[in-house]
A and B are shown apart, each in its own frame.
Chain A
Amino acid sequence: GAGVSQSPRYKVAKRGQDVALRCDPISGHVSLFWYQQALGQGPEFLTYFQNEAQLDKSGLPSDRFFAERPEGSVSTLKIQRTQQEDSAVYLCASSLDGAGGNEQFFGPGTRLTVL
């Protein structure tokens, strides 16, 4: 079956613009995570959803970052008034949970460049 997909794969924004990054998790996966990966670093946790509920947003770096998953499937990460330090790869991961295990399956990421 299809894996986790993300769109767009690449996004260039001017400083101050708002951006929206989309994640389509594997169908039926309960948990969804967003991570931010700076160049040369490992991914860092941003936020976690269980179905439509955002249960952990402790990793969001500022109130300019907002995520939602209104129907418990597709998720959108929105960044308002982008800054140069927001330039990174944004990764989405999903897991089935329950008896299906809770290994996380990652999408290819969206590379955001803020000029």
Chain B
Amino acid sequence: DAKTTQPPSMDCAEGRAANLPCNHSTISGNEYVYWYRQIHSQGPQYIIHGLKNNETNEMASLIITEDRKSSTLILPHATLRDTAVYYCIVRVPYYGQNFVFGPGTRLSVLP
């Protein structure tokens, strides 16, 4: 079973920041937080991951709380192409360790 909980759906206005929450209260010390997204009819796409420090890349920012029990994925300026299902996953970064996906959050970016 997935070790994360996410809201099933969210809406965001185009051009605004999308803030996607994730709870992972049972995360272990060696588990990272990963975010993937899946656009309709495509495979999941890697977005970002982190251990305890906040992370930023060209796609998004990841904010992890100090106790590591929750995190937020931030898409700073959402576009219509960001409409997708977003998955938050906790995982140890060992070779061969598969991802355990939950149902994710369906983000709809509205014009």
Name A residues whose Cβ lies closer than 8 Å to a Cβ of B: 4, 30-31, 33, 35, 40-45, 48, 50, 55-56, 59, 91, 93, 95, 97, 102-109
A109 vs B41: C-alpha distance when bound (angstroms): 8
Is the Cβ of B103 less than 8 Å from the Cβ of A50? no
Those of B19-66 within 8 Å (CB) of chain A? 34, 41-46, 49
Is the Cβ of A48 less than 8 Å from the Cβ of B2? no
Q: Which of B45, B87, B95 contacts A50 (CB 8 A)?
A: B95
CB-CB < 8 A to B85: which residues of A? 42
Q: In the complex, what's the smallest C-beta–C-beta distance from B53 to chain A, in angstroms?
A: 17
Is the Cβ of A56 less than 8 Å from the Cβ of B98? yes
Q: Which of B44, B95, B102 contacts A97 (CB 8 A)?
A: B95
The secondary-structure label for the interface of chain B is: loop
CB-CB < 8 A to B44: which residues of A? 43, 91, 93, 106
CB-CB < 8 A to B97: which residues of A? 102
CB-CB < 8 A to B49: which residues of A? 103
Query: A31-B96, A56-B96, A103-B49 are contacts. A108–B103 as well, Cβ < 8 Å?
Result: no
Q: Which of B43, B45, B87, B98 contacts A45 (CB 8 A)?
A: B98
CB-CB < 8 A to B7: which residues of A? none
CB-CB < 8 A to A97: which residues of B? 95
CB-CB < 8 A to A48: which residues of B? 96, 98
> Which residue of chain B lies nearest to A95 when distances are taken between CB atoms in the complex?
B95
CB-CB < 8 A to A40: which residues of B? 103
Is the Cβ of A102 less than 8 Å from the Cβ of B103? no
Q: Which of B93, B100, B103 contacts A41 (CB 8 A)?
A: B103
Q: In the complex, what's the smallest C-beta–C-beta distance from B32 to chain A, in angstroms?
A: 10
CB-CB < 8 A to A91: which residues of B? 43-44
Q: In the complex, what's the smallest C-beta–C-beta distance from B14 to chain A, in angstroms?
A: 25
Is the Cβ of B98 less than 8 Å from the Cβ of A42? no
CB-CB < 8 A to B41: which residues of A? 108
